[in-house]
Amino acid sequence: GVSLKYLLDFGTQPLERQMLLSARFLHAEIPIRLAHRLMDLNHLPPKLSEEPHVRRVKGWYAESFADFRSFPAIKDHLDVLRFTAMLKKAFRRHNNVVPAIAKGVEEYKRDLQVGVESTEERESEIQHFLDTFFLSRIAIRFLAGHHISMLDPPRPDHIGLVHTRCSPYLVGLRFPAKAFVWIAQQQPFPLPRVWFVFPPSPPPPPLPAGTPQVFELVKNSLRAVQERFSESEWEPPPIQVVVAEGLEDVTIKVSDQGGGIPRSGLARIWTYLYTTASSPLPDVDIDSTNMPVVLAGYGCGLPLSRLYAR
């Protein structure tokens, strides 16, 4: 497995040597992972596996696999630079995998509802596939992104994608802030305040900086508060972010007074595509670089955040 230590080691050796090792590792490792995912896609129920969006995704995986396999052995720094350019191209090719798969699954489910196949069994099979598929995607993109960013101009307090001083405090502060800026640009409405409740002890060791879970949670809270209070004469009540440090782990808790998840919906919140907002998927064009930006509606926020947390 690849550990946080492996990622931080990039900063301890001469960069050229480290990048050579990293390129060789990715050159061997990524095509194996791509091949596994392609096999999984081929083993889906035939109607889903052959759905046009899913077929596009299979095409991307096959193309990237071929790029890696046809790339010659990496011998020197020039090879590393060429390899990294190929890696970047593959990285971009896969940008829209999540909406493409979501769209494919949505279309397939619509067909199921009118068809005769048992939906319940299929449903759990698909959810399991999506968890495996997206978790693998997160890992591949983290490894590739880390390698690529090592060759970008250095950023303070970063080794590649890892923020060397990133503590739960920083995550707890930074992601709500990001969510607010993002939302203020998209659909302005009176924003609630955020209360931060942090312990007084010194920050624990580094975390990967790309942890987006808190962002998704704050987004959900903002939506809940907006729906409940946008027409109300009352000021929207604050969202609370609590960071608590345990002996072995850290808890970051986001809570709001938007009314919570109805009991009848609780069982479904980890299900991909479960949403109570209107879905932007019908307007999604997977060839476009700009997906419709919505406060909620993809129904992927919670299940994907759980994968990132894992």
Ligand X SMILES: Nc1ncnc2c1ncn2[C@@H]1O[C@H](COP(=O)(O)OP(=O)(O)OP(=O)(O)O)[C@@H](O)[C@H]1O
Which residues contribute to the site for Mg ion (CB under 5 A)? 220, 296, 301
Q: How far apart are CA 196 and CA 255, in angstroms?
A: 11
Output the smallest distance, CB 183 to Mg ion, in A: 12
CB atoms within 10 A of CB 286: 19
The pair phi, psi for residue 192, each rounded to 5°, is: -70, 165
* Residue 242 touches ligand X, criterion: CB under 6 A: no
Nearer to ligand X, 64 or 220 (CB): 220
**162 interacts with, out of ligand X, Mg ion, none, CB within 5 to 8 A per kind:** none
Among 269, 292, 306, 308, binds ligand X (CB under 6 A): 269
* Residue 221 touches ligand X, criterion: CB under 6 A: yes
Residue nearest to Mg ion (CB): 301
Tell me the Ramachandran region of residue 260: left when phi exceeds 0, alpha when psi lies from -120 to 50, beta otherwise.
left
* Residue 100 touches ligand X, criterion: CB under 6 A: no
Beta strands in 58-157 (DSSP E): none
Buried b (16+ CB within 10 A) or exposed e, 27-65: beebbebbeebbeebeebeeebbebebbebbbebbeebb
Cα-based torsion angle of the residue sequence 286, 292, 295, 296 in order, rounded to the nearest 10 degrees: -40
Among 260, 278, 282, 283, binds ligand X (CB under 6 A): 260
Helix (H, G, I), strand (E, B) or coil at 195: strand
Output the smallest distance, CB 184 to Mg ion, in A: 17
Q: How far apart are CA 212 and CA 306, in angstroms?
A: 10
Output the smallest distance, CB 242 to ligand X, in A: 14
* Residue 22 touches ligand X, criterion: CB under 6 A: no
Output the smallest distance, CB 239 to ligand X, in A: 9
**136 interacts with, out of ligand X, Mg ion, none, CB within 5 to 8 A per kind:** none
* Residue 299 touches ligand X, criterion: CB under 6 A: yes
3-class SS letters over 174-192: HHHHHHHHHHHHHCCCCCC
**256 interacts with, out of ligand X, Mg ion, none, CB within 5 to 8 A per kind:** ligand X
Q: Give the Cα-Cα-Cα angle 53, 63, 42 (nearest 5 degrees).
A: 50
**242 interacts with, out of Mg ion, ligand X, none, CB within 5 to 8 A per kind:** none
Q: How far apart are CA 20 and CA 54, in angstroms?
A: 34
Nearest to 265 by CA among 254, 277, 253: 277
Output the smallest distance, CB 257 to ligand X, in A: 9
Nearer to Mg ion, 104 or 301 (CB): 301
Q: Which stretch binds ligand X (CB under 6 A): 32-40, 148-156, 173-181, 297-305?
A: 297-305
Nearer to ligand X, 47 or 306 (CB): 306
* Residue 258 touches ligand X, criterion: CB under 6 A: yes
* Residue 182 touches ligand X, criterion: CB under 6 A: no
* Pairing status of strand 194-197 against strand 250-255: unpaired
Contact residues toward ligand X (CB under 6 A) are 216, 220-221, 224, 256, 258, 260-261, 265, 269, 274-277, 294, 296-302
